[in-house]
Amino acid sequence: MATNDAKSMEKKNIVVWFSCGAASAVAAKLTVDKYEPEFNVMIVNNPVDEEEPDNLRFMADVSNWLGKEILCAKNTKLGHTSAYEVWEKRKYMAGVGGAPCTLLLKKEARYEFEKSHDIAFHVLGFTADEGRRHERFTKFERGNVLPVLIDAGITKGRCFEIVEEAGIVLPLSYRLGFANANCVGCVKASSPIYWQLVRKKFPAVFESRAEQSRRIGCRLVKLNGKRIFLDELPDKQYKGKIKGYECGIFCDTK
């Protein structure tokens, strides 16, 4: 009886999936402030080698802001956290079936983490302007999600402001003009505007993606309604706004 009583007194776990983006950072802050100490709030990140290195600095700053350690959840079956290696082994980068890097490095890592942790609720960085993404996730992935940003009416733009008001410098990817702090050269992106920015800011990454996608046979760019290889993309200025390509714990290009 004593054992059962002790178990019943254990705090339930809330896991915030932190993607090194502004939205998930603010979601983590709201969750810690609202649900601790009633719940045990864990902040968990899925590391990927191809993310911009400044993400690690941002993660450390957010950890200090929260006063909590940020845990890492990896797919231990892979033995690495490289999207490049995933593409090489699968001979597939992205398409109608999504991206294998998201499946293996994030989704499978989450499943593995769930097996060893009793999770009462999940928290993701779905903002007030992303209600449809939240609905899809709760319908097809997990129903036990706390929509902390949506409930608070906080948009993605407001998340940027909150992070900066806390004295935290946003990840370099944002400051260079990218819509998200995902991997540099995200293969889910098909916009010529996006890839031209990658070519300008990270030429070595652009060349690596161009070589690998050509060798694998993946046409990553959509130009004038037609899919083309990266090395076929004209090197010129493209007008327009870069679309956000989210890379959380499930694959979604909105």
Beta-carbon contacts of residue 170 (< 8 Å; ≥ 6 apart):
22, 58, 160, 163, 164, 181
Q: How is domain 2-170 classified at the CATH fold level?
A: Rossmann fold (3.40.50)
27, pLDDT greater than 80: yes
Please report the beta strands in 65-170, taking only residues with DSSP state E, as ranges in sequence order: 70-72, 119-123
Using one digit for the tens of pLDDT, what is the confidence trace for 204-222?
Answer: 999 999 999 999 999 999 9
| Model pTM above 0.75 | yes
Q: 3-state class of 13 per DSSP?
A: strand
Using one digit for the tens of pLDDT, what is the confidence trace for 37-69?
Answer: 999 999 999 999 999 999 999 999 999 999 999
pLDDT of residue 3: 39
The answer to whether the beta carbons of residues 16 and 44 sit under 8 Å apart is yes
244, pLDDT greater than 80: no
The answer to whether the beta carbons of residues 60 and 87 sit under 8 Å apart is no
Tell me which residue has tokens 């706390």. 146
For residues 128-133, give the mean pLDDT: 93
Domain limits, the chain: 2-170
